[in-house]
Amino acid sequence: MKLNRRSFLQSATATLFTGPLISSLPAFSSKSTGKRSMKLDLSCGRIGVEADQRQAIDYAHQYGFEAVVPDAGYLGKLSDSQLTELKAEMQDKNLVFSAAGMPVDFRKTDDIFKQGLATLPQNTAALQRAGVTRTGTWLMPTHAELTYNANFKQHTRRLKEISRILADHGLRFGLEYVGPKTLWSSKMYPFIHSLPEARELIAAIDVQGVGLILDSWHWYTAHETRDDLLTLTNADIVAVDLNDAPAGLEIDQQIDQQRELPMATGVIDLATFLNTLNELQYDGPVRAEPFNAALRKMPADQAVAATATAMK
């Protein structure tokens, strides 16, 4: 079904974080007296909005978000006085920084990895100076040449080097496993694509502050349940992404990058997902990551408004 902007706004804001989710979860309801610690996070890139740091902060304040993704490049260029002013402004607007993206490409050749690693201290110093405490990346769940064991060893070695630099700058590091079978079975050698496997990698890295980015989409496509989430603590979770899945497909038929807005279809049990995180007293950012074409075609302010209205 094709949606114009008006009909998309109506349908999105009517379904995302409404109905059974809003009634069962005190986390994001403005009408609820239930306590929550999660932060409603604006990640402009995840909803297809092009915005620099200042624009993102303005959008976050205007539309009632509680956190915004930090831009290390922008923050690193600020003088001490400019950064102090920015921090004061964010405090006045009841905003905090959420989780930054980890910029090092650790998935390709050693040369590419080393080049990226050399720039990481400067990047992390800028984040630390701005008071950022979280960063993260994702794990490719397959490889054309490396066996699982060889890939695991390479990930452990490279991510350990990255993690040490991040830890030296007070940054927690979240790793996101990717669940769809259509992706992890697409090349010769499957790799990490579930919560237990991701935790094995974290244990092998063995650097304090390394944890998980949890995504409702990957939790669902990995056939995981509430019981899997209950094996975690707040300290294990660095950031959270929310998505729904297209209706009419079996779990193992779902294709990454073809997702729906949270609660758009009800295929993924987001009420259980978020309620369980609330039980764990998770206190980090929660952001929408819909990969939705209609949302990405909207003007920036409409896309942010639709996301904000939907998540409250």
Tell me the C-alpha distance between 174 and 202, whole Å: 9
Exposure class string for 158-169: b at 16+ Cβ within 10 A, else e: bbebbbebbbeb
C-alpha of 44 from chain center: 12
Rg (CA), the chain: 19
Asked if residue 302 lies in contact with residue 55, where contact means CB atoms within 8 angstroms, the answer is no
Please give the chain's pLDDT, 312 residues, in tens.
333 323 333 333 333 333 444 344 544 543 344 578 999 999 999 999 999 999 999 999 999 999 999 999 999 999 999 999 999 999 999 999 999 999 999 999 999 999 999 999 999 999 999 999 999 999 999 999 999 999 999 999 999 999 999 999 999 999 999 999 999 999 999 999 999 999 999 999 999 999 999 999 999 999 999 999 999 999 999 999 998 999 999 999 999 988 887 888 999 999 999 999 999 999 999 998 878 778 888 999 999 998 887 777
Token pair 């991701």 is at which residue? Answer: 198
Mean pLDDT of the chain: 90
From 243, 244, 233, select the one nearest 280 (Cα to Cα).
Answer: 233
Q: Helices (DSSP H) in 63-215: which residue ranges?
A: 72-76, 80-92, 110-129, 148-168, 181-184, 195-205
In order of 62, 156, 306, the CA distances from 199 in angstroms are 38, 12, 35
Tell me the C-alpha distance between 45 and 66, whole Å: 17
pLDDT value for 15: 38
pLDDT value for 10: 37
C-alpha of 199 from chain center: 17
Asked if residue 134 lies in contact with residue 239, where contact means CB atoms within 8 angstroms, the answer is yes
Note the maximum CA span of the chain.
55
Tell me the C-alpha distance between 222 and 214, whole Å: 12
From 24, 10, 11, select the one nearest 270 (Cα to Cα).
Answer: 24
Tell me the C-alpha distance between 158 and 197, whole Å: 17
Tell me the C-alpha distance between 169 and 172, whole Å: 9
In CATH, the number for domain 14-26+37-311 is 3.20.20.150
pLDDT value for 1: 31
pLDDT value for 28: 52
pLDDT value for 30: 38
DSSP-based three-state secondary structure for 80: helix
φ and ψ of 309, to 5 deg = -60, -40
pLDDT value for 11: 38
| Token pair for 154 | 């390479």
φ and ψ of 26, to 5 deg = -75, -5
DSSP-based three-state secondary structure for 38: coil
pTM of the model: 0.89
DSSP state, 233?
-
- Domain residue spans of the chain: 14-26+37-311
